[in-house]
Amino acid sequence: MTMQQYELTQRFYFEAAHTLQRTVDAAPSRRVHGHTYLAEVAVRGQPDPATGMVMDLGYLRRALEPLRDALDHHLLDEVPGLERPTLEGLCTYIAQRLSTTVPRLAWVKVWREASGDSCTLTLSPRP
Ligand SMILES: Nc1nc2c(c(=O)[nH]1)N=C([C@H](O)[C@H](O)COP(=O)(O)OP(=O)(O)OP(=O)(O)O)CN2
Ligand SMILES: [Zn+2]
């Protein structure tokens, strides 16, 4: 029988400003402007027989709190450790920040509901 894998997810949102250097819509993108972002992270695994949980969601929520604090109402261009203020950069940043505190991270998704833009970073399982 194949081993069953569960994905446990937790979502948060943040409001943030940024500027972007790009060739499409270059002038408005260079100006400081803001978006409402949503981010979701998934942990993959099997429930611990003792608890029935892959991971306690309370633990995951606690791990996400400092991340939200670092991003919400910030100018993303100035957030230490966030190399690019793009959806891709945010996925990388969130994955890196969680890598030391959240085991078995499966993917990180960041999106903007209003425009329908999203990026998902899929993390390969550690050998
Ligand atoms: N690959 C990526 N491309 C773009 C990203 C990104 O994170 N990754 N981000 C942006 C911008 O943040 C930008 O503000 C969105 O611009 P745009 O697609 O032009 O949409 P807007 O709603 O801001 O523009 P309207 O002209 O109001 O529709 C761009 N690209
Ligand atoms: Zn933008």
Write down the CATH number for the domain with range 6-122.
3.30.479.10
- Nearest ligand to residue 23 Cα: 1
Top mutation candidate among 75, 87, 108, 111 for ligand 1, by most atoms within 8 Å of CB: 87
pLDDT band of 3, cuts 50, 70, 90: confident
Name every residue whose Cβ is closer than 8 Å to that of residue 50 and which is 6 or more positions away in sequence.
none
Q: How many CA atoms are closer than 13 Å to the CA of 32, on its beta-carbon side?
A: 8
Q: What does the domain layout of the chain look like in residue ranges?
A: 6-122
- ipTM of predicted complex: 0.89
- Determine the pLDDT at residue 1: 62
68 CA to centre of ligand 1 in angstroms: 21
31 CA to centre of ligand 2 in angstroms: 9
H and E: helices and strands count for the chain:
3, 5
Q: What is the pLDDT of residues 9-66, one digit of tens each?
A: 999 999 999 999 999 999 999 999 999 999 999 999 999 999 999 999 999 999 999 9
Look at residue 66 and give its three-state secondary structure: helix
- Determine the pLDDT at residue 127: 52
What is this structure's pTM?
0.94
Look-up of token digits 């903007």: 112
Distance CA 114, CA 48 (A): 38
